[in-house]
Amino acid sequence: MNLRVSVPASAIDCNLGGKLKISNRTGKFSALVAGIAVTALIATGCSSSSEDSASADSTAAATSEETAEASEAAAEDVTISWAHACGLPGCWYHVPMYVAQNFGFFDKYGVNVDIQPFKSGGDIVQAVQTGDIDGGHIGTDPFLVGAPQGLTMKGIYGENKQDWILITRDPEVKTCSDLSGKEIGAQGVGDARWLVLSAILDGCGDGVTIDQVSTIDPNNDYVGVLVSGVLDTEIVHLDELAQVQAQTDDEWRTIAALSDLQQLHYAMHVVSDDTIANNREAVVELTAGLIDATKFMYDPANFDAVVEYLSGQGIIKQEDPALAAAVFQQFLDFGQWEKDTNGLDTSYLQNSINAQVGAGSIAESYDPNGIIDASIWEDANKLVQAS
């Protein structure tokens, strides 16, 4: 990675005997840069006589070359910390991160990435805001809700489509109109699955509202409550449906799919404004690795290799390769991951913002263009095309 670290002469305190003082948010590489660049910077920034200036001019070329080499050496030690929600084994929408890491796409673009599993997107937003990590991959809603409160981060690459579906094995339920009075697994009021259920019911147009059903929070055991028979109807992801089908003999029917009813944004990679300002090149290279890995995943020639890796490393919940293959194919057919666009369709984002306003989570609507940086993906895609 050709990450350039530029330190102005004003950063050098000449009253401290030429000691270099560098302020860096994370402090990950300030000491290394100071050690390897201090001689050159002192020569150009702390000279106090015409003789010193003449000497500096005569060695400018050599100093420039040494500084460039030193900066490149320092860059090799820079690591971008990137988190994802759901923990491990995790959600399928994070898969490109691990494919990029395992199949060498981050290395291809010269970026070191430390992938960190987090429990929730809210935790990631907090960690990015406080500077504990550089960025991460999260469900869109926590970011949209926090943005009006002064979050200092931008969305750079995402997934527009949501794979949420409402499934049932209840023989009495044929359409949304049959759901009145039924128990439905959907988390607590205001949480993601509750909002999805509300949106699906609104989109069905059958007159049944969220207040007319009994929502049950499965406490993260979304597959278990269906397999055990505790619930017959629930909001699930495509991979959870595949697991339930594999573990039961029941006939599971999809009553409605959110993507068919409303265009609400699903997930995105976010990065702190500070990291963009200081390490933009590394963020572009990380994004290029994600784009390339996503294209790799959509290539049928790589299908078996990806399935073998994911099912064997505890990254996804499906350890059985056959089940993992079935789920992977479902997501590919659905078009879960964006490979030709940045996945930040502003119409989807605006719809999601308005939905949060309707739910009372955001006071008033706002323009999503102010919370994304489309230039990161554009520059990353140029790297991918050039490669």
Query: Integer distance in angstroms from the first to the last C-alpha of the chain?
Result: 14
What is the edge-to-edge ordering of all strands in the sheet holding 253-257? Answer: 214-216, 183-185, 233-236, 165-168, 253-257
Element (H, E) at 252: none
Region 146-167: mean pLDDT is 96
- Under 8 Å between Cβ of 98 and 305: no
CATH topology of 79-160+266-386 equal to that of 165-261? yes
Does position 122 have pLDDT exceeding 70, yes or no? yes
Lowest mean pLDDT among 200-209, 271-280, 308-317: 200-209
**pLDDT value for 77:** 64
* CA 234 and chain centroid, separation: 26
Q: Would you say residue 299 has pLDDT above 80?
A: yes
Give pLDDT, residue 66: 52
Architecture of domain 165-261: 3-Layer(aba) Sandwich (3.40)
Asked if pLDDT for residue 90 goes beyond 60, the answer is yes
> pLDDT digit string (tens) for 333-381?
999 999 999 999 999 999 999 988 988 889 999 999 999 999 999 999 9
CATH architecture of 79-160+266-386: 3-Layer(aba) Sandwich (3.40)
Query: What's the pLDDT score for residue 23?
Result: 29
Query: For 37-54, how does the pLDDT look when each residue is reduced to its tens digit (9 = 90+)?
Result: 333 332 333 333 344 444
Rounded to two decimals, the pTM is 0.75
Which residues, in sequence order, are bridge partners of residue 256?
166
Task: Read off the DSSP letter of residue 4.
Answer: -
Query: What does the block give as tokens for 19?
Result: 């000691």
Mean pLDDT value of segment 52-77: 48
Strands 153-159 and 267-272: antiparallel
SS3 content of the chain, % helix, strand, coil (to 5): 55, 15, 35
- Can you tell me which residue has the tokens 């090799």? 76
What's the rounded Cα separation, in Å, for the pair 286 and 283?
A: 5
Q: Which residue has the tokens 């002469």?
A: 9
Q: Kindly state the average pLDDT of the residues 136-153.
A: 94
Q: Where along the chain do its domains lie? A: 9-75, 79-160+266-386, 165-261
The single-letter DSSP state of residue 118 is -
Reported as a single tens digit per residue, the pLDDT across 166-186 is 999 999 999 999 999 999 999
